[in-house]
Amino acid sequence: MERPDLNYVVSELQASVVVKQRILADSRLMQQITAMGHLLIDRYEAGHKLLVAGNGGSAADAQHIAAEFVSRFNFDRPGLPALALTTDTSILTAVGNDYGYDQLFKRQIEANGQNGDVFLGISTSGNSPNILLALEAARLKGITTIGLTGESGGKMRDLCDHCLCVPSDNTPRIQEAHIVIGHTLCGMVELALFDDPR
């Protein structure tokens, strides 16, 4: 087998950059990200919280994004309430065992979500059953729904108040864009709510 060389490294980085350039060139997507940031600012100012969930690599992204809000992003400031619904193994295994894997996030939203909160569901395909059920449950509770997904949008497109479809059908490229968007949203909230000491 041939060992990948520098050309492979370059091609991977270029492919990632191309997807981000597509987002930058699409004014509708840029306005959508801005609107999502403003929504989060409004909800945080009103005393609400963010709930985030995803599967596999998107579960790691959910935890990463929640951590940026709770801990810090660009500078020290008070923590912002954000819950990754992917982290409590006792809840995940209990709900998975008692109700099924598809119910993992729905059940937590029913238990911990409140009217006025925001739920961010992440699915590269847009068709993850546990994310779809969570989005439905969120709407029933008056929770605003944001979706991060891939080019097709899948079934998530119709279940989200804001659904950002990254212009790619390649899972790693979609996930790379999702984390940049998550960082951007956190940065917007941080700048709007706190004085930047730098």
Assigned domain for 55 exists: yes
- Give the pLDDT mean for 59-80: 97
Assigned domain for 198 exists: no
pLDDT confidence tier of residue 1, bands split at 50, 70 and 90: confident
Assigned domain for 175 exists: yes
Residues ≥6 apart with Cβ < 8 Å to 104: 53, 85, 92, 95, 96, 130
Given a cut of 80, whether residue 21 has pLDDT beyond it is yes
Number of domains in the chain: 1
Given a cut of 80, whether residue 58 has pLDDT beyond it is yes
Range of the domain at 70: 39-193
Assigned domain for 25 exists: no
CA distance 179 to 63: 11
Given a cut of 90, whether residue 197 has pLDDT beyond it is no
Given a cut of 80, whether residue 93 has pLDDT beyond it is yes
Per-residue pLDDT at 54: 98
Asked if 182 and 174 touch (Cβ cutoff 8 Å), the reply is no
Given a cut of 90, whether residue 196 has pLDDT beyond it is no
Asked if 174 and 191 touch (Cβ cutoff 8 Å), the reply is no
pLDDT confidence tier of residue 2, bands split at 50, 70 and 90: confident
Asked if 138 and 145 touch (Cβ cutoff 8 Å), the reply is yes
Assigned domain for 30 exists: no
CATH number, residue 188:
3.40.50.10490
- Give the pLDDT mean for 176-186: 98
pLDDT confidence tier of residue 26, bands split at 50, 70 and 90: very high
Per-residue pLDDT at 198: 76
Per-residue pLDDT at 190: 97
CA distance 48 to 41: 10
Assigned domain for 172 exists: yes
CA distances from 153 to 118, 143, 163, 170, 179 (A): 19, 20, 8, 13, 17
- The average confidence (pLDDT) of the chain is 97
- Per-residue model confidence as pLDDT tens digits over 114-166: 999 999 999 999 999 999 999 999 999 999 999 999 999 999 999 999 999 99
pLDDT confidence tier of residue 182, bands split at 50, 70 and 90: very high
Q: How much is the pTM?
A: 0.96
Distance of CA 160 to the CA centre of its chain: 12
Assigned domain for 12 exists: no
